[in-house]
Amino acid sequence: MTTTTAAPAAVSTPVRQRSRFVPRGLAPGRLGAWLVLGLVIVATVFPFYWMVRTSLTPTADLIADSDRLFPTDPTLVNFRRVLGLTTTEEAIAAGGTGASINFLRYTMNSFIFAGSVALTQTLSCAAAAYAFARLTFRGRDGLFVLIIAGLMIPGIFTLLPNFALMRELGLLNTMLALVAPSLLVTPFAIFFLRQFFLSLPRSVEEAAMLDGVGPLGRFWRFALPMSRGPIATMILITFVGMWKEYLWPLVAGNSESTRVLTVGLSVFQQQSPNTRPDWTGLMAGSTLSVIPVLIILIFLGRQLVQSLNFSGGK
């Protein structure tokens, strides 16, 4: 980076937000900085653009269009066939293998899986986090440390016995088995929400206590409503995390009725011939897995970014 020393000006500018430079003019350093940033943004977005572009390309044009930024003859047939909305003959004609692929179902499963875990887990962890932040009881700190230690355990270590457990209970390939391990708790959520409850002013709860409101009432009627923002953020983060989840749904729920989008995509890829992969169909499926997070990003991106500020800044 080049140096643009603007010492006297920097002093006279009012500080609106901590630690932000207040730059003036288009110094060469600033131009270079924008150039690098622009490059990063293009590199970030382009692969997704290419995914969408490919999903809209007829399989017959795949090679001819391989260096074109726009499909010459855009079509939605790839989406129709991966969603199971075409007949087998049509799907084969459009470049599929004809094997049954039902992304409509997988998408629904993903929503049920990610949605139910996000809601239940956040509520359960909020309750626990409140107890850790505000209530006094024996063994509190030890218990908290034990739960946080769970953050250090690589998932595969508990995944193997959890798989054995689900197998013994005869729950493999049910939605219950998919959600069970994460339905009630994850150490990160307890950590994050406890941190937030600690930063909440005590005065409201103290006033409620003087009015005779018990601990449960203080949590449910005061602390919880006051934390709507962070709780919504936690639900969002959990939803995204579950939406991305792959290994557990792969081993515990890889049957047609419980298959989620990520597993569906990988099964689809394995069915597609190695020598000539069904790229248009695969990209249509991938696009389906990106759409929900894209919607989240467009409408709630600000909240997500600010939640990072919260967890990174503390």
Partner 1 sequence: MTRLLETSTDHGRRSDGDDGPDGPVATRPARGGRRKEAWAAAILLLPALFGFAVFWIYPTIRGTYYSMTDFNLLREPEFIGLENFRQIASDPQVWSSLRITAVFAIANIVLVMVLALVLAALMQRLNLKTWLRSVLLLPWLVPNVAIALIWGWLLDANVGYLKNLLDSVGIGGVTFYNPKAALWIIVMISVWSGLGYTALLLYAGMLQVPAELYEAGSIDGASETRMFFGITLPLIRPVIALVLVVSFIGSFQVFDLVQVGYGNNPIPEVRVIYYYIYQLAFSFHRMGYASAVSILLVVLLGALTYVQLRIMRANRSDLA
Tell me how many residues contact partner 1 (CB under 8 A). 125
Nearer Cβ to partner 1 (108/198): 198
The span from the CA of 205 to the CA of 212, in Å, is: 11
Question: Under rule CB under 8 A, which residues in 127-186 are in contact with partner 1?
Answer: 127-128, 130-131, 133, 135-138, 140-141, 143-144, 147, 150, 152-165, 167, 180-185
- Stretch of residues binding partner 1 (CB under 8 A), selected from 70-78, 89-97, 210-218, 226-234: 210-218
Are 281 and 101 spatial neighbours (Cβ–Cβ below 8 Å)? Answer: yes
Q: Which of helix, strand or coil describes residue 64?
A: coil
- Stretch of residues binding partner 1 (CB under 8 A), selected from 78-86, 99-107, 226-234, 289-297: 289-297
Q: Which of 206, 221, 229, 257 binds partner 1 (CB under 8 A)?
A: 206
Nearer Cβ to partner 1 (37/76): 37
- Stretch of residues binding partner 1 (CB under 8 A), selected from 70-78, 82-90, 96-104, 192-200: 192-200
Rg (CA), the chain: 25
Nearer Cβ to partner 1 (25/312): 312
- Stretch of residues binding partner 1 (CB under 8 A), selected from 73-81, 82-90, 92-100, 191-199: 191-199
Question: Under rule CB under 8 A, which residues in 64-93 are in contact with partner 1?
Answer: 66-67
At its nearest, how many Å lie between partner 1 and the CB of residue 87?
25
Q: Counting beta carbons within 10 angstroms of the beta carbon of residue 130, is it exposed (0 to 12), middle (13 to 18) or buried (19 or more)?
A: buried
- Stretch of residues binding partner 1 (CB under 8 A), selected from 71-79, 90-98, 225-233, 240-248: 240-248
Nearer Cβ to partner 1 (15/170): 15
Question: Under rule CB under 8 A, which residues in 4-43 are in contact with partner 1?
Answer: 4-7, 10-11, 15, 17-23, 29-30, 33-34, 36-37, 40-41, 43
Q: How far is CA 234 from CA 9, 118, 189, 243, 277, in A?
A: 41, 8, 7, 14, 38
Work out whether 308 is an interface residue with partner 1 (CB under 8 A).
yes
Q: Cα-flanking dihedrals φ and ψ of residue 41, to 5°? A: -65, -45
Q: Which of 76, 198, 225, 257 binds partner 1 (CB under 8 A)?
A: 198
Kindly report the number of other CB atoms within 10 A of residue 122's CB atom: 25
Nearer Cβ to partner 1 (56/147): 147
Q: Which of 28, 70, 211, 302 binds partner 1 (CB under 8 A)?
A: 302
The span from the CA of 109 to the CA of 254, in Å, is: 11
Nearer Cβ to partner 1 (91/190): 190
Q: Which of 74, 225, 229, 301 binds partner 1 (CB under 8 A)?
A: 301
Q: Counting beta carbons within 10 angstroms of the beta carbon of residue 57, is it exposed (0 to 12), middle (13 to 18) or buried (19 or more)?
A: buried
Q: Which of 100, 176, 214, 257 binds partner 1 (CB under 8 A)?
A: 214
Q: Is the dihedral of CA 306, 310, 311, 314 positive or negative?
A: positive
Minimal CA–CA distance to 262: which of 237, 294, 240? 240
| Helix 103-134 / helix 175-183 crossing angle, nearest 10 deg | 20
The span from the CA of 182 to the CA of 15, in Å, is: 44
At its nearest, how many Å lie between partner 1 and the CB of residue 152?
6
Q: How far is CA 186 from CA 145, 149, 190, 228, 247, in A?
A: 13, 11, 7, 19, 17
Measured at the CA of 141, the angle between CA 140 and CA 144, to 5 degrees, comes to 90
Nearer Cβ to partner 1 (89/211): 211
